[in-house]
A and B are shown apart, each in its own frame.
Chain A
């Protein structure tokens, strides 16, 4: 029904079997409610679901998670296995979990606290329809940001150095054409840094025979 859909659009649906999971107390920024008819532990979007696993539990019941994954079927596109790392020695169980998740088409996220686990659930829900612009390559808008971005890609160059370079040379082209000597003369640019910069501007991109 229409009302049902709008309900599920705004809230995280929680499987009844999660009742009593202290994780629920950490979901604060989105609404959630129990739902009887879902297979995953959490439904965080129209096509996104979460299975929750704590490492302690996995150690006691190593066969549990594979069964749950199998039961999910093909209904969800985004399938997250949210693992709460609640033991100090997690290496062996994680090795196993990594493999099970990979074979079971699950994407693993690790959380080192219940708050962090809760935050992943909140974020998955909140960002359900968000464009991934923030993790895409994007164009910086101001000249100084662009210049910063470019010059700080050279090792050990910091933003003070960028300002120094920008104010002592005409343009990016000017910096590119500067000799090691001229670079050294800028206050704060030591001999080594000057050489690194010079190398970045003058060394050939590709070394061919």
Chain B
């Protein structure tokens, strides 16, 4: 439990400094941000105070809740300590009561904003705000709005902000300064790992770390090279196709990271709606390639091949979206190498004479449920073998120590940490069955390698692979959706893919490739097709009762790739980890920055094996080591030598260090003016501009000043749909001096006066809703109920204010272009007005302009518009992700989804509905459509 150990001296110092002054505290990952938050929470959780915690995620809240439960039940029980967690399900009157009770209240910013605007929050009682994950706070974010509102109503509140993502504060121009201004803070506390105080505390006890550098297999190296080749080709292609990229930052190294997607998106976002489909496809493909690079080391050989095959199939026209553009890189030579190598380490094929397999071997294959004309290769991930060795070593060492001394040196559990839950399962599955090996007598034996046989896990994976392959036959284009396929314009890439390979090449594949050297360069989809044939043949030839079938029956569930052989796992004390049987307790667990500390605390391992490198976890071990009573005997750190995995790890460390160095420099020169006249700090220069723009045009003075906005002057009112609070506009409207009234609206997003409704569309929304038909329905409803039905097309702050494609407008009228669709909208709804805005800031000014001399809107009337008697209660809030999924199902429309949402709890429950139930709600036609969709078999 986070609270069970005392703070280390440096952590105490962090907390003290944060208590002394309002500041933004940025910490290295792994140094215990949770711990600091927990301490702050404990201090604030008294009925004498009312402190809001914003931006905490589900897991943070869960952890805090556990901490508080402990506090109330422990020896020094603190009955008064209260932590309240406000979720969507807490209704408004309950929330009002809860705010009055005081304590620490963790609340979603969106709810808090609505409550603040509706005067539900007793801000005069508020003592402070803690902003967690502060890197996510931007000038236009809703958190900034919360801070402004609270400070405006009560200037005395304290604000403490926390973050352990230093990299986020170094992107763009002076981001640290911007964030501080938004938070209204003057101070930043920086706590890098190389801080003197941290160094001192950590140096006292050094963790005994052994670095195990596992060489990759030759095929892994080849895969790695092939992916890198594809990546660099793609990047040069991309930078020549768009001249918009900063080629300094976009390179092969940077594209190995997850943040690359965000970076490239930020660079292209201003122009995204104007880019050609080809460029957009390339950006998506870069992400696929990065995944392949990651999976080369993280996945076993079968799963990687499965992933590659899925990619290949989904890139073909005919599946799903009709206008899919095939991935260009897949037709390159490097891609062919990639696909051939990936397959050659799973199995080999060949005409019977080339594969010298004994009849016995064939029988064995058949009995295992595998096709008999292939030779399994099944390369075991080298780290798995290494892991097995390390565990043996630990076992031997423990045995010795118990023999030698009395049990004064007990060996505790062994903790294995991985990067993902998936790898955990792989490891557990491997370790529990690693003794169970199957030997295949190959004719072409590699004499240098001892044939230990294939672990059962790998064989099971292969069988699953062929079964999957068989079922995929039904997913192929042609088998499904012939109509779609006809509609597809044959793009150049697709054309190449459909081409049959020259017969010579085909024969070379059949000629039995030897793994490693001289890999044939057959086009990827030929290989895929061949595998498919093998699978289908094998399955049709399969006798009814093989060993495989009985295994299936025993295993029951067959969806997951790594099956834990039944009963091998005894206790699981958390859904995340299972204990392996044996002399030592072995726990396998994925990294999870929130739970790692807790895990170490409660498990007290003597050995830790880091199966994947993770910079934060190393610090967490250090912190644990610095205060723990149980000494660590050994930490094993595993990494593939000279691999992308290693490169990613080293770059991550370097990036963090460089970020801190940058921040330290920026901190030295930062100037935060505190504008006394506003009584609070200005959100940002842009917000200020919105305010300025407004007050210039009006004699009345608006702005955030407390006295004025407190109702002395009647404010101009705008009723805003609560769903709009994700967007920056409500905050800006408020900053511009409008009275913002949040309501759940059926029609329109903003009601400026009783006859003027505005549906706001950002550019992606506009394009999306024109495609889905949503906008048509909204326009229809708005025109029916409002005299002035207005569509507001709003560009984002940094996007280019233009609809036109970058390549210019084509020679012919295209039905699918945004211009054409807008034209159709104009023709369909002559009364619909369109207002154009270059940014949300501009929108605030436009609203002021449109509202000039108009009377104020009535909020209740706005809510009532377009509602039937039986409509949903005003109080209930929809959860967006299930609702969006619901709305996208066949037979579900804008008109009927609410009834479904009221009748059924979730999508899962909807799936269990009987046809009759659906008919009662949707009518026969739509209900049948929906029912059929839910129950159509995707596999045959």
Which of A's residues lie within 8 Å of B, judged by CB? Answer: 28-29, 45, 48, 77-80, 85, 90-91, 94-96, 98-99, 101-102, 105-110, 112-113, 115-116, 119-120, 122-124, 126-128, 130, 132, 134-151, 153-155, 158-160, 162-164, 166-174, 176-178, 181-182, 184-185, 187-188, 190-191, 196, 199-209
Contact = CB atoms under 8 A, between A and B. Distances in A.
A146 B484 CA distance: 12
Interface stretch (B36-44, B377-385, B438-446, B906-914): B906-914
A29 B812 contact: yes
Given A132-B824, A150-B888, A108 B876 contact: no
Determine which residue in A80, A96, A145, A160 has the highest number of CB atoms from chain B within 10 A of its CB, and name it: A160
Nearest to A114: B809
Interface residues of B, number: 123
Nearest to A30: B813
B827 A127 contact: yes
Given A102-B788, A173-B935, A207-B878, 5 more contacts: A112-B802, A134-B815, A146-B933, A150-B889, A188-B295
Nearest to A205: B901
Contact of B882 (A80, A187, A204): A204
Contact of A201 (B89, B830, B885, B888): B885
Given A132-B824, A137-B773, A185 B560 contact: yes
A163 B295 contact: no
B19 to A, nearest CB: 34
B883 interface: yes
B820 A185 contact: no
A184 B315 CA distance: 22
A202 B836 CA distance: 39
Contact of A162 (B320, B480, B908): B320
A165 B709 CA distance: 53
Contacts, number: 323
B727 interface: no
Contacts of A178: 559
Interface of B: 87-91, 94, 284, 288, 291, 295, 299, 303-304, 306-307, 310-311, 313-315, 319-322, 324, 420-422, 425, 468, 471-472, 475, 480-481, 483-484, 559-562, 590, 770, 772-777, 788, 790, 801-804, 808-809, 811-813, 815-816, 819-828, 830-836, 838, 842, 845-846, 849-850, 852, 872-873, 875-879, 881-890, 893-894, 900-902, 904-908, 911-912, 929, 933-939
B849 A99 contact: yes
B172 to A, nearest CB: 23
Nearest to B292: A188
Contacts of A172: 911, 933-936, 938
Given A137-B777, A144-B480, A178-B559, A124 B826 contact: yes
A204 B884 contact: no
Contact of A108 (B311, B831, B833, B938): B833
A171 B770 contact: no
A78 B481 CA distance: 39
Given A128-B827, A135-B776, A205 B813 contact: no
Given A79-B830, A95-B849, A185-B560, A206 B299 contact: no
A97 B323 CA distance: 38
B559 A119 contact: no
A185 B882 contact: no
B313 A163 contact: yes
Nearest to B812: A29
B813 A102 contact: no
A200 B425 CA distance: 24
A125 B873 CA distance: 45
Contacts of A176: 907-908, 911, 934
A99 B850 contact: yes
B284 A191 contact: no
Given A77-B830, A102-B790, A169-B938, A148 B776 contact: no
Given A134-B815, A137-B777, A150-B889, A188 B89 contact: no
A127 B828 CA distance: 10
Contacts of A115: 808-809
B821 A142 contact: no
B559 A207 contact: no
Contact of A206 (B321, B885, B902): B902
Contact of B836 (A110, A116, A177): A110
Nearest to A124: B823
Nearest to B842: A91
Contacts of B850: 98-99, 102
Contacts of A191: 420-422, 590
A171 B933 CA distance: 9
Contact of A205 (B879, B893, B935): B879
Given A102-B788, A191-B420, A95 B560 contact: no
A160 B288 contact: yes
Contact of A207 (B790, B842, B876): B876
Contact of A136 (B776, B819, B882, B939): B776
B213 to A, nearest CB: 26
B886 A205 contact: yes
A205 B849 contact: no
